[in-house]
Amino acid sequence: MKNNFTSEILIEGMEFFAYHGFYPEENRIGCKYTVDLRLTLPLDEPGATDNLMHTVNYEEVYILVRKEMEIESKLIEHVAQRIMSALWAKYPQLQHIDLNLYKYNPPLGGQVARVGIHLYE
């Protein structure tokens, strides 16, 4: 029996220490980042078969995100776009990606907990 579920896989709070930033000291000192993902795709088949080959492998997603986070960039917008592009290329069955990338304690001249970028398509 086919249910035609559309579901979301959530991978939240992936933490990384990376060296992104416009200012040279950001590239030298680095800081904490987190990434949250909401991946929309049909999950009827993996739900019925219990087969990892029919869904998104969370570990592979984490490794993909980690690899993109390791590439130094000036803008977190650039990092987020690279992550999105890599996810689309790896998982063509995705229908929608929602990504939040946060940078903690940015050097803005005052106390700011985090800044972030939200991409979705």
103 labelled catalytic? yes
Determine which one of 2, 32, 67, 103 is catalytic.
Answer: 103
Torsion angle defined by CA atoms of residues 78, 80, 86 and 92, in that order, rounded to the nearest 10 degrees:
-130
Tracing tokens 């069955």 back to the chain, one arrives at: 93
The residues, ordered by sequence, that sit 6+ positions from 22 with a Cβ below 8 Å of its Cβ are: 74, 75
**DSSP alpha helices (H): ranges in 30-112?**
44-49, 58-69, 76-90
Contact 119, 76 (CB under 8 A): no
List the catalytic residues. 103
